[in-house]
């Protein structure tokens, strides 16, 4: 990379559906750790949530919930910038400019569009197709250098690098935009469904038993772990024995992640035991970690005026970073006066 850029972390999460343990371990918990070493900008990407069918009231509600979840998890609005994407219109403007930089061939290679559209690509919104361009605008609008994401988003960060490179080359100079690096947070924290150890824990899984929601109470959490799918064997004595046992591997990984221990340490703790032992310990541990977060989320959502005020303040801080960058962008493409 040519010009030096001040390190800056940017990440975002869509306000769609139920936040769950996988979002916490895979995203928020990493984000809050990054706060001590980087300047961080964390966004609730409501414009991205409009790319699939959505209900306006739900969108507004879920946006506040996700913002509250960030803060309740320990992402600190004093240290980091926390805001809702639509609160800073620079994202939408830069996305348009990038729509004129990115090539149709590049977007045709994006696997997420194919996964989401399936056989119905003709009926999907144009927004879904250009979703990765908006994501590039999110990142580059702050000249972010590091982007913590799950491995399913790596291709989108690579597209942001391609857009940055072409923009620099066509209109500006090497190093005008940094080439952002993904910080891949999986697979150690890639949490799988409690009903199927081969599928990712997902907001949209029709079975609520597949996931632990951040809002679940202690009894629900215990019940979901009790009902979690297992196999008929006792718990393994070594990591090698987890081969072909995705459900056991997942429960052990969740326990290890919350305890901040290695999988091997957890295996040593439970070697040869019945699943019920691990499940009980897991329920206690997860309740202890998540219930303070759920309580704090409820408290934050109880005072909507105050939460909205914090988010407006966050949007102002976001604009203070992106605004001067946008002025340069407009100038170099000939639309700034």
Segment lying near ligand TRP (by CB under 6 A), choices 12-20, 198-206, 300-308, 312-320: 12-20
CB-based contacts of 154: which residues, under 8 Å, 6+ apart? 182, 184
116 is catalytic: yes
- Tally of residues, the chain: 337
Across the chain, where does the E strand assignment appear? 8-13, 39-44, 81-84, 146-149, 181-184
Look up 123 and say whether it is catalytic. no
What binding mask, one character per residue, do residues 302-331 give for ligand TRP by CB under 6 A, x or -? ------------------------------
Site map 117..156 versus ligand TRP, x via CB under 6 A? ------------------x--xx-------x-x---x--x
Min dist CB 43 to ligand TRP, Å, is 7
Let me know: does 81 contact 315? Beta carbons within 8 Å.
no
Q: 200 an active-site residue?
A: yes
Q: Does 46 bind ligand TRP (CB under 6 A)?
A: no
Comparing CB distances to ligand TRP, the nearer of 116 and 289 is 116
Positive/negative CA dihedral, 69, 75, 78, 80: negative
The one segment of 5-13, 183-191, 195-203, 231-239 that binds ligand TRP by CB under 6 A: 5-13
Q: Which is nearer to ligand TRP, 135 or 249 (CB)?
A: 135
Q: Which of 8, 12, 46, 161 binds ligand TRP (CB under 6 A)?
A: 12
Rounded-to-integer distance, Cα 2 and Cα 326, Å: 20
Burial 227-236 (b: 16+ CB within 10 A, else e): ebbbeeeebb
11 binds ligand TRP (CB under 6 A): yes
Q: Which of 33, 166, 198, 203 is an active site residue?
A: 203
Compute the distance between CA of residue 310 and CA of residue 315 in angstroms, rounded to an integer.
Answer: 9
Neighbours of 31 (CB within 10 A): 21
CB of 14 to ligand TRP, least distance (A): 5
Neighbours of 310 (CB within 10 A): 17
Least Cα distance to 253 among 243, 266, 237, 270 occurs for: 266
At its nearest, how many Å lie between ligand TRP and the CB of residue 27? 8
Which residues would be at the binding site for ligand TRP (CB under 6 A)? 10-14, 45, 48, 135, 138-139, 147, 149, 153, 156
Q: Which positions are catalytic?
A: 116, 200, 203
């Amino acid at each position: 990379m040519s010009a030096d850029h001040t390190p800056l972390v940017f990440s975002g999460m869509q306000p769609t559906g139920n936040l769950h343990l996988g979002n916490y371990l895979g995203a928020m918990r990493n984000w809050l750790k990054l706060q001590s070493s980087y300047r961080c900008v964390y966004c609730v990407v409501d414009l991205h949530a409009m790319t699939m069918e959505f209900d306006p009231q739900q969108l507004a509600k879920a946006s506040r919930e996700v913002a509250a979840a960030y803060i309740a998890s320990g992402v600190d609005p004093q240290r980091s910038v926390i805001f809702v994407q639509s609160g800073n219109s620079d994202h939408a403007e830069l996305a348009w400019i990038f729509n004129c930089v990115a090539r149709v061939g590049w977007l045709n290679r994006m696997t997420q569009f194919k996964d989401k559209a399936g056989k119905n690509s003709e009926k999907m919104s144009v927004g879904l197709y250009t979703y990765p361009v908006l994501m590039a605008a999110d990142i580059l609008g702050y000249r972010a250098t590091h982007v913590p994401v799950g491995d399913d988003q790596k291709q989108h960060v690579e597209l942001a690098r391609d857009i940055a490179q072409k923009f620099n080359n066509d209109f500006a100079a090497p190093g005008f935009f940094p080439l952002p690096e993904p910080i891949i947070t999986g697979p150690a924290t890639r949490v799988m469904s409690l009903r199927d150890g081969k599928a990712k824990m997902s907001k949209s899984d029709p079975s609520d038993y597949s996931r632990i929601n951040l809002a679940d109470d202690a009894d629900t959490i215990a019940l979901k772990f009790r009902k979690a799918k297992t196999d008929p064997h006792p718990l393994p004595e070594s990591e090698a024995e987890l081969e072909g046992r995705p459900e056991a591997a997942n429960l052990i990984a969740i326990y290890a992640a919350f305890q901040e221990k290695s999988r091997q340490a957890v295996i040593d703790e439970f070697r040869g035991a019945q699943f019920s032992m691990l499940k009980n310990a897991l329920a206690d541990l997860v309740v202890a970690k998540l219930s303070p977060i759920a309580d704090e989320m409820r408290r934050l959502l109880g005072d909507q005026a105050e939460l909205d005020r914090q988010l407006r303040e966050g949007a102002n801080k976001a604009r203070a970073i992106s605004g001067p960058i946008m002025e340069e962008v407009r100038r170099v493409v000939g639309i700034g006066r």
